[in-house]
Amino acid sequence: MVDQPLWEQIGSSFVQHYYHLFDSDRSQLGTIYIDESCLTWEGQQFQGKKAIVGKLISLPFPKIVHSITVQDHQPTPDCNILSMVVGQLKVDDDPVMGFHQSFLLKNINSAWVCTNDMFRLAIHNFG
């Protein structure tokens, strides 16, 4: 068994936890952000845990399922973890859509939190 680098273990645990919360109960997502966090959601900026969770809770669908296709993780020089996720999501009865999302994770008081988050739907056809 090949050992996964620590940043990959932390990154992939975070990603699993994030989408589990997103798909089951978005109101719980506040636990992963801090007051200094920043979200860019389809080009719109949201600053701070309260505004971010407010945006995510207000997304106009009761049901969503994310399916992760690939994820990449890297350590940064400031000992943070950078993660990029590519996947598909299905909202209610709408057709499946591609998405990509990037996170920056920081260790604060022994917990990994998300300080930066950028989400975009994939809007170009492949091939």
Residues that bind another protein (CB under 8 A): 36, 38, 40, 43, 45, 69-70, 72, 74-78, 80, 82, 84, 86-88, 95-98, 100, 102, 104, 106, 115-116, 118, 120, 122-127
Nearest approach in angstroms of CB 98 to another protein is 3
- Closest distance of CB 25 from another protein, Å: 26
C-alpha distances (whole Å) from 17 to each of 77, 119, 127 are 24, 16, 32
Q: Residue 127 is which amino acid?
A: G
Which CB sits closer to another protein, 22 or 83?
83
Which tokens go with 117?
């988050």
Would you tell me how many other CB atoms lie within 10 Å of the CB of residue 27? 10
* Cα dist from 28 to 25, 33, 65, 121, whole Å: 6, 10, 16, 22
C-beta closer to another protein: residue 55 or 100: 100
Nearer residue to another protein within complex by CB, 27 or 76:
76
